[in-house]
Amino acid sequence: GAGVSQSPRYKVAKRGQDVALRCDPISGHVSLFWYQQALGQGPEFLTYFQNEAQLDKSGLPSDRFFAERPEGSVSTLKIQRTQQEDSAVYLCASSSDSNQPQHFGDGTRLSIL
Amino acid sequence: QKEVEQNSGPLSVPEGAIASLNCTYSDRGSQSFFWYRQYSGKSPELIMFIYSNGDKEDGRFTAQLNKASQYVSLLIRDSQPSDSATYLCAVSLTSGGSYIPTFGRGTSLIVHP
């Protein structure tokens, strides 16, 4: 498809489990961003890739969060030893340049029980 | 203090009126400014972007930027009930040589018939 694709759309995990969220950006977009959005809040920045390079990971809340984009296309956000406070919608966005408008995927709604 | 500030609302306007949404930001080096609309349970979708001081019009939408006052606004003319949504302001803030689109918490707009 032509848009940003995220999978899974919904993920339920037990506290302590590891999860992996996938993002397939628009073809040719070098910039890829991950955001976390809690209910009633705006998206909070997690991390930014330019091609395969992770240029900014200052928004990752703890060392349990890890992101990669090994070939400069698909990205995976991994959360280890999940906690209840990790429950949120995780949004992926891509753009042709970090200063250009972003295109968002539908998000992954993560629920930690 | 958050780097991008928006009044959370809700802002309630009658159908046909002009809705005015406001946003302030802290980083004088910001280059790009975006407005996204987000319906409940959906991901953000781009409405407008603006890079230069002044007004930019697109259909019923006008974005206004004042870099000296660090202020960006969105006007929606002839508001329709279908415009009821949360409006997110995003500003590209400088971070280690990159620009990171940073979001406000969003303003909830209700257009009543």
Residues 52 to 91 of B: which have CB under 8 A from any A CB? 88, 90
Please report residues of B whose CB lies closer than 8 A to that of A100: 32
Question: Please, are residues A18 and A80 in contact by the beta-carbon 8 Å criterion?
Answer: yes
Which site among B61, B93, B100 would you substitute to test the A interface, given the most A Cβ atoms closer than 10 Å to its Cβ?
A: B100
Q: What is the pLDDT of residue B94?
A: 81
Chain B contact set for A98 (CB, 8 A): 92, 98-101
Q: With pLDDT > 90 as the criterion, what percentage of chain A qualifies?
A: 94
Q: What is the pLDDT of residues B56-69, one digit of tens each?
A: 999 999 999 999 99
Q: Does A35 touch chain B (CB under 8 A)?
A: yes
A43 touches chain B (CB under 8 A): yes
Per-residue confidence (pLDDT) for residue B96, from 0 to 100? 75
Give the chain A residue nearest B89 (alpha carbons). Answer: A42
So what's the pLDDT on residue A31? 96
Write the DSSP assignment of B5-39 as a string of letters.
Answer: E-----EEEETTSPEEEEEEES-TT---EEEEEE-
Per the CB < 8 A criterion, the answer to whether B33 and B47 are in contact is no
- Say how many CB pairs under 8 Å bridge A and B: 61
Chain A residues in contact with B95 by the CB 8 A cut-off are 56, 58
Strands B11-14 and B107-112: parallel
The tens digit of pLDDT for each residue in B14-52 reads 999 999 999 999 988 888 999 999 999 999 999 999 999
Bridging pattern class, strands A65-68 and A53-56: unpaired
Q: What is the reported pLDDT for B1? A: 56
Q: Answer whether B43 sits within 8 Å of A105, measured CB to CB.
A: yes
Q: A43 and B103: CB-CB below 8 Å? A: yes
What pLDDT was estimated at residue A99?
85
The answer for residues whose C-beta is within 8 angstroms of residue B73's C-beta and 6 or more apart is B20, B21, B22, B23, B63, B64
Q: Given B42, B99, B105, which is nearest A41 (Cβ)?
A: B105
| Structure-block tokens of residue B78 | 């002839």
Closest CA of chain B from A92, distance in Å: 10
What tens digit of pLDDT does each residue of A23-80 get?
999 999 999 999 999 999 999 999 999 999 999 999 999 999 999 999 999 999 999 9
pLDDT digits (tens, 9 = 90+) for A86-102: 999 999 999 998 888 99
Query: Which residues, at least 6 apart from A60, have a Cβ–Cβ distance to it below 8 Å?
Result: A46, A47, A66, A67
Q: Which of A69, A68, A66 is nearest to A82 (CA)?
A: A66
Indicate the range of A37-51, B71-85, B86-100 predicted with least confidence. B86-100
Q: β-pairing, A10-13 with A108-112? A: parallel
B42 and A56 within 8 Å at the Cβ level: the answer is no
